[in-house]
Structure 1
Amino acid sequence: MPSSAAHAWTLLCDFDGTISHDDATDLLLERFARPGWEALEADWKAGLIGSRACMAGQIALLDVDDATLDACIDGLRLDPAFPAVRAGRAARRP
């Protein structure tokens, strides 16, 4: 069986910069999305489409490989005062 380090997981559950200092979705869209994601955002803000349609359309416009996406997410600055971040760090201590 492979070592746990080879299959380590990183979970980032965030909404609008609650856990990370930056909004993860906005950051990914600004860096990696093909044109059109802003129009979907405008349609959502105007009430023309729902949040599910907006997010699905925007995510479909991402043009990034897995390694680059992972590196970007790994680089997000997390708020060390957020309880889940503190708990996750405490759980990793030997």
Structure 2
Amino acid sequence: MAPITWAHSADRHHVPHEDAVHAIVNAVYFVPRLDEGRTGGMAPDLYIGPGRDGRLLEVMLERVSRTEATVFHVMLARTKIVNEARRRLGR
């Protein structure tokens, strides 16, 4: 896993960083380049996976380079985001 930077917006829903990393590493769904980039960088990747307590989280990050990423969104997974991931992955 690349070094991670945490945007202030990643903490909006008070999900511990350790839970977000757990969700990324144990992702059930991974959708690369989910939509247009917010900062002029690469389009963000979506990870949906369990936090350390097992609840599904949605985590979005932008890859800053091949070796770095910025997490800008972490929260409990919403049904509409899970359904969008499934649709894009053909599941």
TM norm. shorter chain > 0.5: no
Give TM class, smaller chain.
Answer: under 0.3
TM-score (norm 2): 0.28
| More helix by percentage | 1
| More strand by percentage | 2
